[in-house]
Structure 1
């Protein structure tokens, strides 16, 4: 631990999950900010946070805060992150990082200009089982990589006013759910060279189901499926010429996996032992990066985050989804 003081910007469900894991890891949470002072005070009382602020501006101006976790709905990410950066705070921005690539690049460039950390809160990449999977791949255990497949499918409310269905809030399966398997495919195979996407849209015009087929460097292939209308297996696999990795449900949370040979002999089994939800690992990584002078994040570089937002832009272009702020 580096002694960084965290500020929590917004008090929704994801902010509760993250702050709970910060406390589990023994990290310092100095302040919380909400547009409602009552909400901020209730949040602060629950997690024993010293300072509660009734606006985001007050939070980022708090001298006791070093790094801000951005937990607002997607359309607010860019303005909230830029506000924190303007006040000299590092930022960990909840995924999806922004609504689109242009907004992501704006955050990246603002952070670089001030020598501050801007990092996407893609917590899955920092989980112990994912760290071990990258070690196995790097060791050549799987041989030549051929295919990655993953799904993120959940049954969520069909109410048009629900956040996941409201285009004005960046609603749809892609940004909330599809970001996980797409980022996973990029993590394993690199950025795609070709993208094909299909979708079924809701009556509100948001994407209820999205499927992608992508070709990555060297001709490797990935497939992803996301849905907000039905709960699927939520598993993933990486297939190589010498072995495959099968990640159990729910693959993007602390879970188990197997390394299986073509003969179906299991060469390795891994089971996660994680306290809490596991969101503390990304926070610990952010603290290490700040302590190292905001060096390059080898798990998820900011340039890769920006590029992944470009992949999501292309998927949306192909399926015909445009957010109101982009028109």
Structure 2
């Protein structure tokens, strides 16, 4: 597999994890950019990155950069993605990849036009145990999938100025943690939902603090999601079929899945599927992304991100919630 020169934009906590993964997988990182010079210098020293930019546009323009990784607040993703794609760079952007479906469709078409790989940083697309779960479902051992349930509850500090609660920075539970839940739901539904039922509780800044969401597709499959930024709950997903169900804890970086077979109303047996290591979650992401470049396709990952983006738009439309930049 080819090693690529990665340029990182942003030096927050997830960028620290990604830098560690890139150093483990590739041995080095080509360059990093951040508008905060002090944070940039500290990050570059800690992660052994020789080349630094206080102007992200200059990093994007560097002819030696092959891949741009974007770890900024959500509102900056779209302009940086467009600039990077127009500069001929492959792009891996943290979730949510864009703040709305219109932006997503724009960059999706641009990546296709340019013949470049664009991908969203959702770890659950890359954890090895999910391949086992998908193979199990494809085998028919769970019967027909009827219902997906998924929760994600976080407990953020009560700070209206924090980006999690800042409407100008596309804050709120849906875009911050809901991408994981929505991606899990869409992964195990056979078709894109065409019905959205939802209710929301707003934070004082006007972003969604918590919500309940029900999705249904034309195959009559249901997904039920619960999200919160101010009430901790387990990150848990359940996939239910006519012959059994799968329970997956810590699903964004899952390494195990408990399978319970229910061939009738009275008999159950179970097994546990196991693969991967949580500590390697971003290594799997980097490895897959570089394979996508080598092979010239992304295994349909961007199509899943497309559906997730459109689902989240349908949820916000049902709430009537708009960001200043929508």
Partner of 1:211: helix, strand, or coil?
Answer: strand
Partner of 2:155: helix, strand, or coil?
Answer: coil
Offset of residue 27 of structure 1? 5.2
Structure 1 length-normalised TM: 0.94
2:167 is equivalent to residue 164 of structure 1: no
2:289 maps to 286
Residues 174-226 of structure 1: per-residue CA shift (max 9 Å, x gap): 00111111111111103112111111111111101111111124111110111
1:148 maps to 148
User: Is the CA contact (8 Å cut-off) linking 1:61 and 1:87 kept in structure 2?
Assistant: yes
2:210 is equivalent to residue 214 of structure 1: no
> Are residues 90 and 231 of structure 1, via their aligned partners in 2, closer, same or farther at CA, if it must alter by over 3 Å?
same
Give the Cα–Cα distance (whole angstroms) in 2 for the partners of residues 27 and 228 of structure 1.
36
User: Is the CA contact (8 Å cut-off) linking 2:119 and 2:289 kept in structure 1?
Assistant: yes
1:240 maps to 241
2:57 is equivalent to residue 73 of structure 1: no
Partner of 1:85: helix, strand, or coil?
Answer: helix
Give the Cα–Cα distance (whole angstroms) in 1 for the partners of residues 28 and 141 of structure 2.
39
User: Is the CA contact (8 Å cut-off) linking 2:255 and 2:277 kept in structure 1?
Assistant: no
Partner of 1:25: helix, strand, or coil?
Answer: helix
2:38 maps to 38
Q: Which runs of 4+ in 1 moved over 6 A?
A: none
Residues 223-242 of structure 1: per-residue CA shift (max 9 Å, x gap): 01110011112211101111
Give the Cα–Cα distance (whole angstroms) in 1 for the partners of residues 39 and 238 of structure 2.
41
Segments of structure 2 that go 5 or more residues without pairing to the other structure are none
1:25 maps to 25
Partner of 2:234: helix, strand, or coil?
Answer: coil
1:226 maps to 227
Segments of structure 1 that go 5 or more residues without pairing to the other structure are none
Partner of 2:231: helix, strand, or coil?
Answer: coil
2:265 is equivalent to residue 264 of structure 1: no
Residues 128-153 of structure 1: per-residue CA shift (max 9 Å, x gap): 12222111111212111111001010
Between 1:271-280 and 1:171-180, the stretch displaced more is 271-280
Residues 234-287 of structure 1: per-residue CA shift (max 9 Å, x gap): 211101111111112x22223322111113311x21234416251121221111
2:193 maps to 192
